[in-house]
Amino acid sequence: MKSINFVKTIALVSILSFTALTTMCGQTTNSKTNTMENLSLTEFPALPYAYDALEPYIDARTMEIHYDRHHRAYFNNFVAAIKGTVYENMPVGKTFAEISKAGDAIRNNGGGYYNHVLYWKIMGKGSSGPSTELSAAIDKAFGSFDKFKETFSTAAKTRFGSGWAWLVLTPEKTLAVGSTPNQDNPLMDVSPLKGTPILNIDVWEHAYYLKYQNKRPDYIEAFWNVINWDEVNRLYREAVK
Ligand SMILES: [Fe+2]
């Protein structure tokens, strides 16, 4: 009888352990996928829509050159830069966390790869706006949506030279806006702005020059028409967990 109970106990422990393990693995995998820290290093990700999908706000020619030339080059150069190094099999998020040790090629091209993947995803057409939860967090951090829009747009307009503006959820779980130079991002240890990216905008001239020439503010204003709030809401939900 004792031995039967012992076998039952072992079986139960095994089932519970297996369930806990698979749950943990599932969470880890989902978390990496959702936060995009586990980006593919073998396959250049597809653009989630056609080149002309964001017309008239972002023109098809800009989108084609931006995605197929600039972004692809960052991906190819990043893969080449990490080849044969400790970063070759490291999740990109972990690489960013110690980017100060990785060198300029990995920093610039890794940032260029990740930042654009996020940028394509947070754009789209047809979604309504921030979720109730994100709206409440925006109101708490900035006072109102209009104030947030103004703060984000100002960060994008005033980033000197090339770079990005960001909405992030900080490690303290509050929303913050800021900008980074070149291809840096808030996941990098070198960035004064730290947090999980929720929204970003590319303010390199290659993102807007063909249509808007030197009028960066016009491009930034147009950007608000093509934010994929469904994705932004999902990124926020994922980050606050
Ligand atoms: Fe870009």
Residue whose C-alpha is closest to residue 179's, from 190, 192, 170, 169:
192
- What pLDDT does 36 receive? 63
CB contact set of 77 (below 8 Å; sequence gap of 6+): 105, 109, 112
Q: Which domains does the chain have, with CATH numbers?
A: 60-121 (1.10.287.990), 132-240 (3.55.40.20)
User: How many angstroms is it from 33 CA to the middle of ligand 1?
Assistant: 22
| Cα angle value 116/193/95 (rounded, 5°) | 55
Tokens of 166: 């960001």
Per DSSP, what are the bridge partners of residue 163? 181
- What pLDDT does 7 receive? 46
User: How many angstroms is it from 84 CA to the middle of ligand 1?
Assistant: 27
CB contact set of 92 (below 8 Å; sequence gap of 6+): 36, 37, 38, 39, 41, 110, 113, 114
- What pLDDT does 8 receive? 47
- What pLDDT does 37 receive? 61
- What pLDDT does 127 receive? 74
Q: What is the pLDDT of residues 87-133, one digit of tens each?
A: 999 999 999 999 999 999 999 999 999 999 999 999 998 778 999 99
Tell whether pTM > 0.75: yes
Please identify every stretch of the chain with a pLDDT value under 50, giving residue numbers as ranges: 1-4, 6-34
Q: What is the pLDDT of residues 196-210, one digit of tens each?
A: 999 999 999 999 999
- What pLDDT does 96 receive? 97
- What pLDDT does 29 receive? 34
Contact 219, 207 (CB under 8 A): yes
CB contact set of 151 (below 8 Å; sequence gap of 6+): 142, 177
Q: Where are the beta strands (DSSP E) in the chain?
A: 163-169, 175-181, 196-202
- What pLDDT does 232 receive? 97
User: How many angstroms is it from 154 CA to the middle of ligand 1?
Assistant: 19
Provide the pairing of β-strand 175-181 with 163-169: antiparallel
- What pLDDT does 35 receive? 53
User: How many angstroms is it from 66 CA to the middle of ligand 1?
Assistant: 6
User: How many angstroms is it from 203 CA to the middle of ligand 1?
Assistant: 7
| Cα angle value 149/164/216 (rounded, 5°) | 65
User: How many angstroms is it from 189 CA to the middle of ligand 1?
Assistant: 21
